[in-house]
Amino acid sequence: MTQSLNDIALDLVAPQKGILAADESTPTIAKRLASVDVPNTEDQRRDYREMLFTSEGGNEFISGVILFDETLRQDALDGRRLAHILSEQGIHPGIKVDKGAKSLAAAPGETVTEGLDGLRERLNEYAELGARFAKWRAVITIGDDIPSETCIATNAHALARYAALCQEAGLVPIVEPEVLMDGAHDLARCDEVTRRTLSRTFEQLALQRVALDGMLLKPNMVIAGKDCAEQAGVEAVADATVACFLDTVPAEVPGIVFLSGGQTEEQATTHLSAMNQRHPDLPWQLSFSYGRALQASALAAWAGSRDRFAQGQTAFLHRARMNGAARSGAYTAGMEAAGV
Ligand code: 13P
């Protein structure tokens, strides 16, 4: 039976589960691998993703994995398709379909995400290769006079064009307008920019007839910039984030799946758990679609060796379990030390 877009979206935000973002582009995975002194070869990229995807029991906490084009087509060392390894465990394979953030003309310091040309054809191919959902990331930078309305509106328009095309192809679009944590801005400024960005994005999604019950939103949390001297406490971040979304995200959207955006593993888990614990009756599921916050310790434990798959998987499963607990607000810092 074919699953509807709404069924897939609901599967992706099922209780205690969330999404692993393993869709780093080749230049981005190069940086991650370099951080543990591993060369960026096709085999090493394959080994690393194979290690993550063959973690036994990962499907208890992971509902979907976002892949990069190369990975969707790649085989494990034993010849099995990596995407099939996921679907056999009931984990939906997803695909990053944008072509990256490029300088936006007439808007110094700002970017627009490209990749719309030929997207319909690419989406059809990805669906045939087994992808059930897709991701497109827009990047909004906070600075003295930015983000401009030009940047926010241009990215919102592209996000909505992408989302409509995904739904036409039977893929659930993950709509990701990321307001970066880079900078010294405070939480209030992040709140204001996130509200503007989400309002514009949902205007465009409505205008371009995107079915809100067949998509997921992947936003940043409302949080102070990395270089801000006054970091808000966990409860303040949780409450500001939920308040921002209650004002901007329609109730028909099945779920909000956060990016980690440079938070540490424990920060990202703690914030998500606080939101779910303090605000149990929200119209949408609050879940995760973490990249770095699910992978950082697994990457370090694996460190480039197939002999260390087990160590990498233990670290990955631990983070997946912690974030699974955060889905219901049940995570506590004590669970880290106990190695639960
Ligand atoms: P981070 O959680 O590392 O921010 O990555 C999530 C992601 O997919 C960004 O596009």
Per-residue model confidence (pLDDT) at position 340: 52
Question: Residue 323's closest CA among 62, 53, 93, 64?
Answer: 62
Query: pLDDT per residue over 288-320, tens digit each?
Result: 999 999 999 999 999 999 999 999 999 999 999
Query: pLDDT per residue over 182-225, tens digit each?
Result: 999 999 999 999 999 999 999 999 999 999 999 999 999 999 99
Per-residue model confidence (pLDDT) at position 50: 98
> Taking a C-beta distance cutoff of 8 angstroms, is the pair 261, 181 a contact?
yes
Bridge pairing between strands 111-113 and 101-103: antiparallel
How many angstroms is it from 288 CA to the middle of ligand 1?
10
Nearest residue (CA) to ligand 1, atom 8: 21
DSSP 8-class letter at 104: P
Give the position, in ligand 1's atom list, of the atom nearest the Cα of 66.
Answer: 8
Three-state secondary structure call for residue 18: strand
How many angstroms is it from 263 CA to the middle of ligand 1?
10
How many angstroms separate the first and last alpha carbons of the chain? 37
CA separation, residue 66 to residues 136, 171, 220, 286, 339 (Å)? 11, 12, 17, 18, 27
How many angstroms is it from 290 CA to the middle of ligand 1?
5
Three-state secondary structure call for residue 305: coil
Q: Is 319 in the pocket of ligand 1 (CB under 6 A)?
A: no
Name the pLDDT band for 339 (thresholds 50, 70, 90): low
Query: pLDDT per residue over 9-54, tens digit each?
Result: 999 999 999 999 999 999 999 999 999 999 999 999 999 999 999 9
Instruction: Parse the chain into domains and list their residue ranges.
Output: 5-338
pTM here is 0.98
Does the pLDDT at position 1 exceed 60?
no
DSSP 59-85: GGTEEEEEE-HHHHTPBPTTS-BHHHH
Active site residues: 176, 218
Kindly state the average pLDDT of the residues 93-110: 98
- pLDDT above 70 covers a percentage of the chain that reads 99
**Which residues pair with residue 111 across a beta bridge?**
103
Does the pLDDT at position 151 exceed 80?
yes
Per-residue model confidence (pLDDT) at position 337: 82
Kindly state the average pLDDT of the residues 229-248: 97
Which option is the CATH number for 5-338: 3.20.20.70, 3.30.70.360, 3.30.390.50, 1.10.274.30?
3.20.20.70
| Best probe residue, ligand 1, of 24, 181, 259 (max atoms within 8 Å of C-beta) | 259
Per-residue model confidence (pLDDT) at position 198: 99
Nearest residue (CA) to ligand 1, atom 5: 291
Q: Is 313 in the pocket of ligand 1 (CB under 6 A)?
A: no
Distance between CA atoms of residues 292 and 165, nearest Å: 28
Mean pLDDT estimate for the chain:
97
**Which residues pair with residue 67 across a beta bridge?**
22, 95
